[in-house]
Structure 1
């Protein structure tokens, strides 16, 4: 499954919580797979309408912002070579301590029954017959409730797909070695000031231990595409007070340092035994 294009090319489905998550976590791997001739499908669970944005430019939280973020998602997908985008349309669950009521006509992602959301993702898997599914680790990265739900829904959908079809499916949980991201954030903090809502200490408990990493994918050749995908999500680069948010801060990193920080992406395969050799190719050893 390592050949470029031709009959050996496969399909990769990337499942994400919000528009812009794909740019931050798996954009390089998606762009690399597309460049190698694999079909890449992007599935996004929520509309991202609870995200912070400059309301004077992008509209208040709600339907107007959701439309903006959908258009940004499409632009990001084009930059990465994605063949198909599926928006499940659940309401963004937000990141505050209190879970907001459901908006009219929608259900917040974390309130959707697990089996219902998993069935919708499994339908996409049945349509695409992928060899690889990208989701999140059990921590949901930094712990956002929608990210944790992506992990749960992805695992349930993969299990249902395997049971119903008997087809093999590699599940790779997007993550980052904790020590690596903390070291990178500390380095960035020497040059840039993160926004007040950014909790650096939360990353000490986030993502996965280095020993759990099974795939370390080099995406240095895809850094330009990854940066373009991040730029596509302009509404998430600044807040309503004119300050830069995390995405905006990351885009200000000088290119050599950016290439160093974002030149690799990491994944955990929960089906591989501990101590397995770390792989570089998501399609390696896939039947």
Structure 2
């Protein structure tokens, strides 16, 4: 009898909730297929804005307890997605959320962007050496939408993932986002405002190399998004329609696929499967 080891997928994300927002359906899909899925989170997300009014005192400029609260949210989200191997880069609390561009949190001595780049690369390299993933996923060079921690996660991963078969950058499809937003415009009781043209970060579809069908895993993705209740609000109706919003109150569509750009490795077989064509 020949025993075949399961494929191994490792995803590097900046904050709790990013794993669900950017790649939740993909994680749920490959977990359900029996792949070994490892999620690495670089910070605790201490600088995030808080949606529920009752939790406002957790913010960084008040009790500064949001990071610990988001650890619990992340654990629930990972359970919803089928993840059993989650790790914090450098250990829990090693590096802090740097906040958006131009805020005071950028100057915090423990901010991810102020940490030793070499130490961060070494920490991720150690995880990669332990897990031995064939495929690694992170953000593109712009971090998806310009957040300093997303950009640093991209840089760390690019430097550390030198001996894996493939590296992908998670992106959002312009066509799918625009079609999803148009569908939301037909909903009369949506609780948030619709996105303005060009307001949501998207990637031109001509640049997208890989489309992962997550239609059978949307329930898991939505459950994971609901777990991040300080950061994400989820709306659903009885007709199967769904949307979510961050603290900015902009409605975002829940689309049927997640999208990637192949950054390293062979392209053959990768159009609809992160592992397609790999031995």
Category of TM-score, reference length = shorter chain: 0.7 to 0.9
1:51 counterpart residue number? 48
User: Which of 226, 249, 260 lines up with 1:267 in the alignment?
Assistant: 260
List structure 1 runs of 4+ shifted beyond 4 angstroms: 193-196
Deviation digits for residues 189-243 of structure 1, max 9, x if unmatched? 56446479x876343xx4422112111001111111111100111111xxxxxxx
Displacement of 1:282: 1.1
2:86 paired with 1:94: no
Asked if 1 retains the 8 angstrom alpha-carbon contact of 2:44 and 2:67, the reply is yes
C-alpha deviation, 1:263, in angstroms: 1.9
Instruction: Using the TM superposition, give the Cα deviation of residue 186 of structure 1 relative to its aligned residue in structure 2, in angstroms.
Output: 4.8
Name the counterpart of 1:170.
Answer: 166
The runs of 5 or more residues in structure 2 that have no matched partner are: 244-252
Displacement of 1:185 after TM fit?
A: 3.4
Aligned CA RMSD, in angstroms, stands at 2.6
How far does residue 184 in structure 1 lie from its aligned partner after superposition?
2.6
Is 2:275 the partner of 1:283?
Answer: yes
**Once the 2 structures are TM-superposed, how far is the Cα of residue 102 of structure 1 from its aligned partner?**
5.0
Once the two structures are TM-superposed, the CA of residue 47 in structure 1 deviates from its matched residue by 0.8
Aligned counterparts of 2:269 and 2:38: Cα–Cα separation in 1: 27
Distance 2:13 2:153 in 1: 7
Residue-by-residue CA offset, 1:54-111 (whole Å, 9 max, x unaligned):
46326422341111100000010111111211112311111253242655xx611112
Q: Does 1:215 align with 2:210?
A: yes
SS of 2:37's equivalent? strand
Counterpart of 1:91 in 2: which secondary structure?
A: coil
Aligned equivalents of 1:130, 1:121: Cα separation in 2: 12
Task: State the TM-score, normalizing by the size of structure 1.
Answer: 0.80
Once residues 79 and 270 of structure 2 are traced to their aligned partners in structure 1, the CA distance between those partners, rounded to angstroms, is 30
In the alignment, what sits opposite 2:70? 69
Is the CA contact 1:139–1:207 (under 8 Å) kept in the aligned structure 2? no
Tell me what 1:107 maps to. Answer: 110
Structure 1: stretches of 5+ with no match in the other structure:
1-5, 163-167, 237-246
More helix as a share of residues: 1
TM-score, length basis structure 2: 0.82
Determine if contact 1:93/1:110 at 8 Å carries over to the other structure. yes
Which sits farther off after the overlay, 187-196 or 124-133? 187-196
SS at match of 2:10: strand
Cα distance per residue 1:163-191 (max 9 Å; x no partner): xxxxx431111101224324433543564
Contact 2:270 2:277 in 1 (8 A): no
* SS in structure 1 at match of 2:98: coil
C-alpha change, 1:123 and 1:200, in structure 2 (3 Å) is farther
Task: State the alpha-carbon separation in 2 of the partners of residues 200 and 75 from structure 1.
Answer: 34
